[in-house]
Chains A and B, each alone.
Chain A
Amino acid sequence: MITITADPIDVAAAMVYLQSDQAGAIDLFLGVVRDNTQERPVDRLEYEAYDRMAITEMEKIADAAQQRWPILRYAIIHRKGTLKIGEMAVLIGVSTAHRADAFEACRYIIDTIKQTVPIWKKEVFLDGEEWVNAHP
C-alpha cells in the first residue's frame, strides 16, 4: 500500500492492513513534526509532492525492499499540505515473520524515501521560512 494524502494518517487502519497470520513482527515508523530545527523554533511544516513521480519512486523502493527482505505486507503513507507540531507526516509499516527483517526493511524504506522521492518540506519558523536541503 502506497499513498500520498492531504488527510491525517490513520495508524489504526494501517495496522489492520499490515496484519497477517504469517507475521510475527510488525514494525511501524512514524515521522512527526517537531517544534524546532537546531533550536530554531518551528511554527509548522508545508509538504509538497510531485504526486505521480513520488508514487512511482516509492514503488521502486518497496520493490527493492521486497527483493532484500521477506516482507509479507507493507504500508507507505506520506502526508502533504500544512502540518502542525505533533502531526504525523509519514508512516512506514512492514510486517514479516521475524523482527530483524521488519526493523531493517522499515529503516531502509524511510532512509531511501528521504533520498529519492520528490517530496519537499518547507520549515516555517516564527521569523522566516526555508525549503529543507535546498541551499548548499
Chain B
Amino acid sequence: MDLPVSVLLFGITRDLTGQSAISISLNQDAQVRDLLSQLHQQFPALAGIRSLLVAVNGEYAEPDQLLNRNDEIALIPPVSGG
C-alpha cells in the first residue's frame, strides 16, 4: 500500500459516503479498476449506483488506466445535467 491518492466525490457518492473527498492507499501500479474495487469494499452502498465511472485529471478513464501519485481522481456517478 504505497500509493496514496485522494478521490473527489460528487452527487450521490458524496451523500452515500458522507465525504466530499476520500484518501485511500493503493498498491503501486494500481489501475482504475483496483481503485473501484477498494472503494466498493470500503463503502458497499456504492454498489447501488447505476454506473460509476472514474475521471483522472479531468478525463474519463478506462478500467485499465494506471494511477499516479499526483493524479486528480474523481468518482463520476450517472450525470444528469441540463
Contact = CB atoms under 8 A, between A and B. Distances in A.
A90 interface: yes
B64 interface: no
Interface stretch (A8-16, A17-25, A97-105, A110-118): A110-118
Interface string B11-53: 1100100000000000000000000000000000000111000
A59 to B, nearest CB: 11
Given A50-B74, A53-B55, A117-B81, A134 B8 contact: no
A118 B55 contact: yes
B81 A120 contact: yes
A121 interface: yes
A125 interface: no
B76 A50 contact: yes
Contacts, number: 77
B79 A52 contact: no
B80 interface: yes
Interface residues of A, number: 29
Contacts of A117: 79, 81
A122 interface: yes
B58 A121 contact: no
Nearest to A89: B82
B15 A131 contact: yes
Contacts of B74: 50, 53, 118
A78 B49 CA distance: 24
A131 B77 contact: yes
Given A114-B81, A121-B81, A135-B49, 9 more contacts: A31-B82, A50-B8, A50-B55, A53-B58, A113-B81, A113-B82, A131-B77, A133-B80, A136-B50
